[in-house]
Amino acid sequence: MEAFTTLQSLVVPIDRANVDTDAIIPKQFMKSVRRTGFGDNLFDEWRYLDRGQPGQDASLRPRNPDFPLNQPRYAGARILLARENFGCGSSREHAVWALRDFGIRALVAPGFADIFFGNCFKNGLLPIVLPPATVDRLFAQVQAHPGFALAIDLAVQTLRAEGEPAIPFDIDPARKQRLLHGLDDIALTLQRADRIRAFEARRRASEPWLFT
C-alpha cells in the first residue's frame, strides 16, 4: 500500500450529503477484485450522460459538463471535499478502490459511513472529519477561488490553505501509523512473520498428524 505522509493538491467539491457507494461505483462495474481499473467509472451515473456498461471505452462516452470531476478547473485534484455521511449504503470496498484508481488520496467531510471509513485506511486513502462549519467554509472557498488547494500533513494532523491558519484534525493513532508506513492488513500481519513461523513449527512438532 502506498504510504501517505503529505499532500498538496487542488480540491474538488461534491456538494451532496449521503453520497452512497452505489453512486461512487455502480454495481454493474463490480466484476473484479483486482483493485484497479475502476477509476473510469467513478461516479459513473453523474459523470456521463449515457448509461455505462463494463468494457466501454470511457474516452468515447458523452460527459456531463456540470459535474465537478469533468470541469477543467478541478483537473488533477487529489482531495475531494464532501458533505455529511459520505460513503453510506452497501459496504463495497470497490468504492474506495474507484476513488484511489481515479487519483483521490484524501477526503474531507463532516462525517463518513463507518464501513467506508474503515476501508479508506486499508487502501491508503485518508478520510478527514471536520466540523460542519469548517466544511461549509471550505466549500465557499472552493467556489470563490478557482485553483483553491490544500496542503495536508498527516504527521502533525493539519490541513492548510495558502496564507491561512492550519486546521487540525483528529485521527486514530493506529490508523495514522498504518497510513504513514503504508501498511495494509497483509503487511501488518507480516510484521509478525517470525512469531507465525514459530507457532507453526511448535504445532507441527506437537501435532504432526495434522500435516501429513
Residue type at position 169: F
- Helical H segments across the chain, by residue range: 21-24, 44-47, 94-102, 114-122, 132-144, 173-181, 185-190, 193-206
Q: Write down the pTM of the prediction.
A: 0.87
Considering the domain boundaries, does residue 120 fall inside one?
yes
Considering the domain boundaries, does residue 189 fall inside one?
yes
Considering the domain boundaries, does residue 161 fall inside one?
yes
Q: Do 100 and 199 share a domain, yes or no?
A: no
Q: Do 172 and 201 share a domain, yes or no?
A: no
Considering the domain boundaries, does residue 138 fall inside one?
yes
Considering the domain boundaries, does residue 1 fall inside one?
no
Q: Do 190 and 171 share a domain, yes or no?
A: no
Q: Do 50 and 146 share a domain, yes or no?
A: yes
What pLDDT digit, counting tens, does each position of 86-110 carry? 999 988 899 999 999 999 999 999 9
Residue type at position 27: K
What pLDDT digit, counting tens, does each position of 118-159 carry? 999 999 999 999 999 999 999 999 999 999 999 999 999 999
Tally helices (H) and strands (E) across the chain: 8, 7
Which CATH number is 85's domain given?
3.20.19.10
Q: Do 198 and 176 share a domain, yes or no?
A: no
Residue of 34, 120, 50, 48 whose CA lies nearest to 80: 120
